[in-house]
Amino acid sequence: MDAKEIYTRLVSQFGSERILAFRDDAAGDPFVLIRPESVRGVMQFLRSEQSLDFDFLSLITGVDYPDQLTVVYHLFSYSQTHKLVVKVELPRASPRVDTVESIWPTANWQERETFDLLGVEFVGHSNLRRILLPEDWDGHPLRKDYQQPDEYHGVSNW
Amino acid sequence: MQDFLQTEEILVNMGPQHPSTHGVLRLVIRTDGEMVRETYTHIGYLHRCAEKIGENLTYKQFVPYTDRLDYLASINNNLGFCLAVENLAQIEVPERAAYLRVMGAEMNRIASHLVSYGTLGMEAGAFTPFFYGFREREQLVAIIEKMCGARLTYHYARLGGVMRDITPEIARDTREFVRTMEQRWEEYNTLLSFNEIFIKRTANVGIIPRDMAIGYGLTGPCLRGSGVEWDLRKDDPYSLYERFAFTVPYGDGRMGTVGDSWDRYWVRMVEIKESLKIITQVLDGLPEGPIMGKVPRVLKLPVGEAYMRVENPRGELGFYLVSDGGTKPYRLRIRGPSFCNLSIMNALGRECLVADVVMILGSIDVVLGEVDR
């Protein structure tokens, strides 16, 4: 199925108040925008529904936009060989979204990385700790307004 | 016995500086005698925030940084990033350049698998494979050095094409390498692949069932070792890979169970042979023409986003580019296959022997430069 058909399938399952939009106007890949509260239900459906069968979570990304923080999921199905990009938009001040770790174990580390570098809180994650940066690091470097510290434990950064 | 021997569980740090960790990786293992009860993986020692660097550089400037992700597969990394940008910018790559990219990528794949062969042998206690692997790798690196002047960070694939054309001398050397490697491949197997001690150390060790492999996002030889016949070069071809004939090896549990360490090792060995086939086909069918397409001096990408994935020696390397129409990416996300492959380590490193942890880690074959980025 192509992305548009999957979107139609999702809307008929969850309704347009949960599945917010389908965008394919910009260059590159189209994507489906869903409500943050519905992440777990929609993802579970995408994984377990036979005709969709998204068994492979390729990538979780956070993107820091001026007025929201977007979390992007790149999904792929080995059996159906189709792909889908799913996005949720979260408020920059307190980005919170449910974890999908129980659906795809690979999400464990990828969500930790997104938490570490962008500060997205994945609710229900079994071990939401920094993964790449030291545990006492301040801030989230991939935020656009991140200020690079001058020193770390007495070692100058310049 | 408890009067004079300590019998409680102890925590052992393996790494961050340890010969078997393939770089700076720290495993904390809870041991009960020789048994490992639990493994916890600490990463990040090589973190350079490559994604943040990417946001502050133009597309052309970032290409050499990709060399430093998986530094054993620089050309494959260059290729992945260039394709991501070219897809979004609609830059056309001449055929000759695409062929040369394939050749470079396959040479780099062999070089990478030879390191994996040598180090895995060494971890099993066999020192000779390391010298064998590096002897052939040296021959290969000398050829790549003639192609682009570097021995590790090649920066060979550029936006729009490749850096330099090959000379007749390089073509001759490469053909000679293919001949040598085909003969040596048999030697390699006698020495390590079918060595009884090596089989005992790897067969039925670190078994990853098919569903677990897919769930943990494993790709490349780790995924194929678990019996999944999937290779992006075949199933989602890029850079004219559809023109070359090669087979995709996958694990069949020949020495033990499907998805054990030996299967992952064997997939890499067969891939060396398949890559040799591709290199020969490139040399035979190399079309004439330019090696560089038209790339604007100031490259601006249209507003939009794209995810491009290529088959690296270690699995699916993905670049997710978000462009706001400027000369630099708004967001650049790198999916390192080593990062996802390593995430299974905590699940595998339990209820096994300490020596097995080393073999499992070796058979997953990570490069920490890419895990930490």
Residue B1, pLDDT score: 61
Q: List beta partners, residue A57.
A: A75
Q: Residue B5 pLDDT > 80, yes or no?
A: no
- pLDDT confidence of B139, banded at 50, 70, 90? very high
Report the range of poorest mean pLDDT among A149-153, B20-24, B98-102, B170-174: B20-24
Residue B234, pLDDT score: 87
For residue B330, the chain A residues in CB contact (below 8 A) are 63
Cβ pair B331:A105 closer than 8 A? no
Residue B178, pLDDT score: 94
If contacts are CB pairs under 8 Å, which of residues 47-106 in chain A contact chain B? 55-59, 61, 63-64, 72, 74, 78, 81, 85, 104-106
Cβ pair A105:B347 closer than 8 A? yes
Write down all domains in chain B, each with its CATH number in brackets: 2-371 (1.10.645.10)
Residue B365, pLDDT score: 87
Q: Residue B85 pLDDT > 80, yes or no?
A: yes
- pLDDT confidence of B2, banded at 50, 70, 90? low
Tell me what the mean pLDDT of segment B45-50 comes to. 88
Residue A57, pLDDT score: 92
Which of B86, B322, B345, B366 is the mutation pick for testing A, counting most A CBs within 10 A?
A: B322
Side by side, the strands of the sheet bearing A69-76 are: A19-23, A31-34, A83-90, A69-76, A56-64
Residue A1, pLDDT score: 81
Name which of A29, A78, A109 is nearest B305 (Cβ-Cβ). A29
Residue B239, pLDDT score: 87
- pLDDT confidence of B337, banded at 50, 70, 90? very high
Q: Residue B193 pLDDT > 70, yes or no?
A: yes
CA-to-CA dists, residue B198 to A44, A84, B122, B261, angstroms: 42, 42, 10, 10
Burial string for A13-34 (b: 16+ CB within 10 Å, else e) reads ebeeebbbebeeebbbbbbbbb
Which of A87, A109, A136, A145 is the mutation pick for testing B, counting most B CBs within 10 A?
A: A109
- pLDDT confidence of B32, banded at 50, 70, 90? confident
| 3-state SS, residue A60 | strand
Name which of A63, A109, A134 is nearest B343 (Cβ-Cβ). A109
A45 interface with B at CB cutoff 8 Å: no
Asked if omega into B16 is within 30° of 0 (cis), the reply is: yes
Which of B47, B368, B371 is the mutation pick for testing A, counting most A CBs within 10 A?
A: B47
What does the mean pLDDT of chain B come to? 89
Contact A96, A18 (CB under 8 A): no
Nearest CA-CA distance, residue A45 and chain B, Å: 16
Cβ pair B343:A106 closer than 8 A? yes
Cβ pair A78:B43 closer than 8 A? no
Q: Residue B3 pLDDT > 80, yes or no?
A: no
Q: Residue B142 pLDDT > 90, yes or no?
A: yes
Give dist(CA B307, CA A111) in Å, integer: 18
Q: Write out pLDDT tens, residues B111-132.
A: 999 999 999 988 888 889 999 9
Residue B137, pLDDT score: 92
| 3-state SS, residue B129 | helix
A110 interface with B at CB cutoff 8 Å: yes
Residue B236, pLDDT score: 87
Residue B20, pLDDT score: 66
For residue B302, the chain A residues in CB contact (below 8 A) are 26-27
Cβ pair B331:A64 closer than 8 A? yes
Residue A63, pLDDT score: 92
Cβ pair A27:B316 closer than 8 A? no
Contact B215, A75 (CB under 8 A): no
For residue A108, the chain B residues in CB contact (below 8 A) are 343
Tokens of B317: 């390397």
Give dist(CA B170, CA B148) in Å, integer: 11
Give dist(CA B76, CA B106) in Å, integer: 8
Q: Residue B293 pLDDT > 70, yes or no?
A: yes
Name which of B47, B301, B322 is nearest A133 (Cβ-Cβ). B47
Residue B294, pLDDT score: 86
Contact A3, A24 (CB under 8 A): yes
ipTM tops 0.85:
yes
Contact B50, B373 (CB under 8 A): yes
Can you give the pTM of this predicted structure?
A: 0.89
Tell me what the mean pLDDT of segment B336-350 comes to. 90
A20 interface with B at CB cutoff 8 Å: no
Nearest CA-CA distance, residue A15 and chain B, Å: 26
A33 interface with B at CB cutoff 8 Å: no
Contact B266, B249 (CB under 8 A): yes
If contacts are CB pairs under 8 Å, which of residues 153-212 in chain B contact chain A? 211-212
**In percent, how much of chain B has pLDDT > 90?**
46
Tell me what the mean pLDDT of segment B137-164 comes to. 90
Give the start-to-end residue ranges of the domains of chain A: 3-145
Provide the strand spans (E) within chain B: 10-14, 26-32, 35-42, 157-158, 161-162, 304-312, 315-323, 331-335, 352-353
Cβ pair A26:B322 closer than 8 A? no
**Alpha-carbon torsion angle B127, B225, B66, B92, nearest 10:** 130
B228 interface with A at CB cutoff 8 Å: yes
A21 interface with B at CB cutoff 8 Å: no
Other beta carbons less than 10 A from residue A87's beta carbon = 18
Tell me what the mean pLDDT of segment B106-111 comes to. 93
Q: Residue B173 pLDDT > 80, yes or no?
A: yes
* The CATH number of the domain covering residues in A3-145: 3.30.460.80
Q: Residue B60 pLDDT > 80, yes or no?
A: yes
Tell me what the mean pLDDT of segment B284-302 comes to. 87
The stretches in chain A having pLDDT less than 70 are none
Q: Residue B267 pLDDT > 70, yes or no?
A: yes
Tokens of B50: 């490559």
DSSP assignments along B315-351, one per residue:
EEEEEEEEE-SSSS-SEEEEE-HHHHHHTTHHHHSSS
Q: How big, in percent rounded to 5, are the helix, strand and coil portions of chain B?
A: 50, 15, 35
Backbone angles phi, psi at B65, to 5 degrees: -70, -30
Give the closest residue to B174 by CA, choosing from B313, B278, B291, B280. Answer: B280
For residue B301, the chain A residues in CB contact (below 8 A) are 27
